[in-house]
């Protein structure tokens, strides 16, 4: 995961030539972020105890939200947002004493308030690369549970709120009057475990006596980001102040 954060840092250090953010522009955007379950980011967890085994797998998800971007200099913008994130998990449970296997899926819902700082690199007349680092406050409104005939999975939130870190890299195309079109990727990692996952076998031969296996889920994920920012004219006073500072 450290390699992912290294790229934005190196790009920040590489911005030595003049670049042009949208100084004085505050614009509103919407975004859709499908969750990509790459093996590098620990999407599969395996649990075992005598005669029992289980797997938990992050199988994608979706984040939807809105964001506000403010150009604060010719090279830097500040972005804040509000997202709903739904993680989809598959789980399976097996008992080798009676050849029992079963599986199910559940959704774990959260909300995020990210704050990131962006730096731009110009690629063409209307095309820009931006890379960003920031933090997020993550909220979890409740737990998630799925019951099967002789088994169940229960995801307990560890806290109702926790902080996380995120890194982003992307490319956007800016039109004169129709707004900005953006595609990129984000890696989000909470500080600490997101939830405790319990997978339980209910022994029907012993009055459904429970046999439980427990692990912690990190909640880390990678997304593909699709964004659209509405067109806004710049605040002329802020542009003049920025230009005066740049000439000093």
Question: CA nearest 167: which of 183, 184, 182, 188?
Answer: 188
Give the Cα separation of 215 and 47 in Å (integer).
8
Let me know the angle formed at the C-alpha of 88 by 171 and 152, rounded to the nearest 5 degrees. Answer: 165
In this predicted structure, the answer to whether residue 110 has a pLDDT above a threshold of 90 is yes
Contact predicate 184/165, CB 8 Å: no
Model confidence at 210, in pLDDT bands (50, 70, 90)? confident
Q: Of 42, 43, 39, 80, which is closest to residue 166 (Cα–Cα)? A: 80
Residue 235 confidence (pLDDT): 55
The string of pLDDT tens digits covering residues 35-55 is: 988 766 666 788 888 888 888
- In the chain, the domains with their CATH numbers are 2-41+57-142+159-191+221-247 (2.40.160.20)
Yes or no: say if 171 and 10 are a contact pair by the CB < 8 Å rule: no
Judged by average pLDDT, the poorest of 3-7, 44-48, 175-179 is 3-7
Mean of all residue pLDDT scores within the chain: 82
Instruction: List all residues 6 or more positions away from 202 whose beta carbon is below 8 Å from its beta carbon.
Output: 150, 151, 152, 208, 209, 210, 211
234 pLDDT above the threshold of 70: no
Average pLDDT of span 153-168: 93
Q: Are 174 and 198 in contact (CB under 8 A)?
A: no
What contacts 243, CB < 8 A, 6 or more positions away?
A: 23
Cα of first residue to Cα of last residue in the chain, in angstroms, is: 41
- Its pTM stands at 0.78
**What would the two tokens of residue 202 be?**
């209910």
Taking 60 as the threshold, does the pLDDT of residue 7 lie above it? no
Type and span of the H or E element at 243? helix 236-247
pLDDT above 70 coverage of the chain, percent = 79
pLDDT greater at residue 244 or residue 162? 162
d(CA 22, CA 126): 12
CA 225 to chain centroid, in Å, comes to: 10
Q: What is the mean pLDDT of residues 211-217?
A: 88
| Angle at 91 (CA atoms; ends 165, 213), nearest 5 degrees | 85
Dump pLDDT digits (tens) for 59-100. Answer: 899 999 999 999 888 788 999 999 999 999 999 988 888 788
Q: Of the given ranges (61-65, 183-187, 193-197, 239-243), which has the lowest mean pLDDT?
A: 239-243
Mean per-residue pLDDT for 23-35?
A: 88
- 138 forms beta bridges with 112, 162
* pLDDT range class, residue 181, cuts 50, 70, 90: very high
- Which has more confidence, 168 or 240? 168
| H helix intervals, 81-217 | none
Cα 235 from Cα 230, distance rounded (Å): 15
Within 10 angstroms of residue 27's Cβ, the number of other Cβ atoms is: 20
């Amino acid at each position: 995961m450290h390699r992912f954060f290294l790229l934005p840092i190196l790009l920040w250090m590489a911005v030595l030539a003049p670049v042009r953010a949208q100084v004085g522009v505050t614009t509103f955007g919407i975004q859709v972020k499908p969750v990509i379950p790459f093996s590098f980011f620990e999407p599969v967890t395996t649990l075992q105890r005598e005669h029992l085994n289980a797997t938990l797998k992050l199988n994608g998800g979706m984040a939807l939200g809105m964001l506000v971007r403010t150009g604060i200099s010719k090279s830097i913008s500040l972005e804040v947002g509000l997202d709903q994130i739904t993680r989809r998990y598959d789980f399976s449970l097996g008992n080798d004493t009676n050849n029992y296997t079963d599986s199910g899926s559940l959704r774990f819902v959260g909300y995020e308030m990210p704050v990131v700082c962006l730096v731009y690199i110009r690629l063409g007349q209307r095309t820009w690369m931006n890379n960003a680092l920031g933090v997020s406050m993550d909220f979890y409104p409740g737990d998630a549970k799925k019951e099967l005939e002789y088994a169940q999975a229960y995801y307990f939130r560890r806290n109702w709120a926790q902080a996380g870190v995120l890194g982003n890299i992307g490319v956007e195309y800016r039109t004169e009057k129709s707004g900005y079109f953006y595609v990129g990727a984000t890696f989000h990692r909470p500080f600490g475990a997101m939830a405790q996952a319990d997978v339980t076998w209910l022994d029907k031969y012993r009055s459904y006596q429970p046999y439980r296996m427990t692990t912690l889920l990190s909640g880390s994920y990678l997304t593909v980001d699709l964004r659209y920012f509405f067109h806004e004219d710049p605040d002329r006073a802020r542009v003049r102040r920025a230009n005066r500072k740049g000439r000093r």
